[in-house]
């Protein structure tokens, strides 16, 4: 019999992982109070010293701030960009794409000629028509990120909501699943640093030429076929966080 997997993650990192995910999912919102060291120690059965290490790690992540007399407070509104991965994970877990306090304004939902890199991803010729949805994600302070999703033009008939600037409850992958039965099973992200174009600067409310993080993401179904090809951009001083496990070395 194969023995069960044993979680060898240090206890403090197990707590960090849970709290970090609650923050990225928006369950703990900007301004919310994080449990105190004593509360962390009692709730997770760890020492006070380990509880201090939990909060120190979250501070190092830029997710929280310790304020004398107030405790440790979530601080994400001005310094965190939720990646495509974060949004897809939240969608699968809660049926909602955006964290509390964030909302999207969809400025375009149309058939448009696919640029070369999108055409290659979708398996069509450059310049062929594809569905393009462009949105700017905001919080109460203003723009957080801008993103564009591209889909095969054939989905215009089966998922007409893709050509509407109204928000799609549950997100576009859910709408495509309901209409076609295709289920998103895998995704990949690529990122680079560049400078803001005129359009990107306008979307984000920053100066043209400012440093930006640009990402491209691909969502695939069970057969490995592309459901969605996406692009996103966020402005300076925002962090994108990833956590992953590494196997044992030889």
Q: Which whole number is the average pLDDT over 82-110? A: 82
DSSP string covering 168-198 = -TT-HHHHHHHHH---EEEEEEEEEEEE--H
> Does 94 map to a domain?
yes
Look at residue 218 and tell me whether its pLDDT is greater than 50. Answer: yes
Phi, psi of 170 (to 5 degrees): 85, -10
pLDDT score at 11: 87
Look at residue 249 and tell me whether its pLDDT is greater than 60. Answer: no
Q: Are residues 94 and 170 in the same domain?
A: yes
**Which parts of 26-171 fold into alpha helices (H)?**
37-44, 48-60, 84-94, 116-122, 155-158
**How many folded domains does the chain comprise?**
2
Most confident of 102-106, 149-153, 220-224: 149-153
Above pLDDT 90, what percent of the chain?
63
Work out the angle between the directed axes of helices 37-44 and 48-60 (0-180°, nearest 10): 120
Q: Are residues 63 and 89 in the same domain?
A: no
| Tokens encoding 205 | 């409310």
Q: Are residues 103 and 70 in the same domain?
A: no
CATH number at residue 107: 3.40.1410.10
Give Cα 175 distance to the centre of its chain. 19
User: Could you list the residue range(s) of the whole structural domain that residue 41 is in?
Assistant: 11-74
Q: Are residues 91 and 195 in the same domain?
A: yes
pLDDT score at 246: 67
Q: Are residues 165 and 54 in the same domain?
A: no
> Does 241 map to a domain?
no
Look at residue 4 and tell me whether its pLDDT is greater than 50. Answer: no
Q: Which whole number is the average pLDDT over 61-75? A: 89
> What pTM, to 2 d.p., does this model score?
0.81
pLDDT score at 1: 39
């Amino acid at each position: 019999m194969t023995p069960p997997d044993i979680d060898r993650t240090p206890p403090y990192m197990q707590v960090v992982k849970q709290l970090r995910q609650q923050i990225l999912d928006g369950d703990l919102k900007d301004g919310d109070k994080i449990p105190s060291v004593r509360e962390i120690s009692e709730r997770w059965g760890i020492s006070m010293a380990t509880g201090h290490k939990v909060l120190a790690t979250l501070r190092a992540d830029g997710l929280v701030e310790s304020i004398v007399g107030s405790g440790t407070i979530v601080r994400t509104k001005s310094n965190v960009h939720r990646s495509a991965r974060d949004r897809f994970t939240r969608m699968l877990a809660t049926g909602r794409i955006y964290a509390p306090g964030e909302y999207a304004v969809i400025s375009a939902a149309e058939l448009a000629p696919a640029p070369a890199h999108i055409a290659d991803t979708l398996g069509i010729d450059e310049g062929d028509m594809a569905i393009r949805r462009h949105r700017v994600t905001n919080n109460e302070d203003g723009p957080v990120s801008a993103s564009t999703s591209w889909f095969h033009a054939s989905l215009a008939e089966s998922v007409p909501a893709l050509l509407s600037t109204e928000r799609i409850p549950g997100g576009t992958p859910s709408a495509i699943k309901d209409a076609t039965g295709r289920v998103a099973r895998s995704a990949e992200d690529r990122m680079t640093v560049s400078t803001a174009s005129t359009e990107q600067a306008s979307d984000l409310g920053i100066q043209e030429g400012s440093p930006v993080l640009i990402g491209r993401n691909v969502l695939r179904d069970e057969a490995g076929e592309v459901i969605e090809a996406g692009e996103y951009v966020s402005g300076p001083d925002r962090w994108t966080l990833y956590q992953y496990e590494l196997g044992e070395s030889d």
